[in-house]
Amino acid sequence: MVYKTRYFARWARRIGLNDSLLVAAILEIQSGLLEADLGGGIVKKRIALPGRGKRGSTRTLLATNRDDLWFFVFGFGKNDRENISEVELITLKKLAKDLLGLNAVQITEAIGEGFLEEVKHE
């Protein structure tokens, strides 16, 4: 299952990053195409926005077990910043541990509370 945090969802809507692009990014990661495995369940993936190439587009960070759970947790434009800080990475790794530890009931509750949104895909 693929989810996005409320924070990520707001950012994605603002820049025009839709669910079909997120699903395509997951498929690329599953094929071995990713920018970095940052450890602690966090991976970095570039996603091109429509009309732009990947090099000048967006960077997304996902919490994943690389099997059946994918959570988009953070994103930024390459023009906005080069990378995340060590403190941010530590925080994201803690978030990944929490998210990847959720069971189906807890995920449903998090969706109901608005903390998570399910990424729509066919």
For residues 10-25, give the mean pLDDT: 94
90 or 81, which is more confident? 90
Whether 53 has a pLDDT exceeding 70, the answer reads no
Question: What whole-number percentage of the chain has pLDDT above 90?
Answer: 75
The strands making up 58-64's β-sheet, listed across from edge to edge, are 36-39, 42-47, 58-64, 70-77, 2-5, 116-118
What does the chain come to in residues? 122
List the single range of 55-59, 81-85, 91-95 with lowest mean pLDDT.
55-59
Domain range annotation of the chain:
2-118
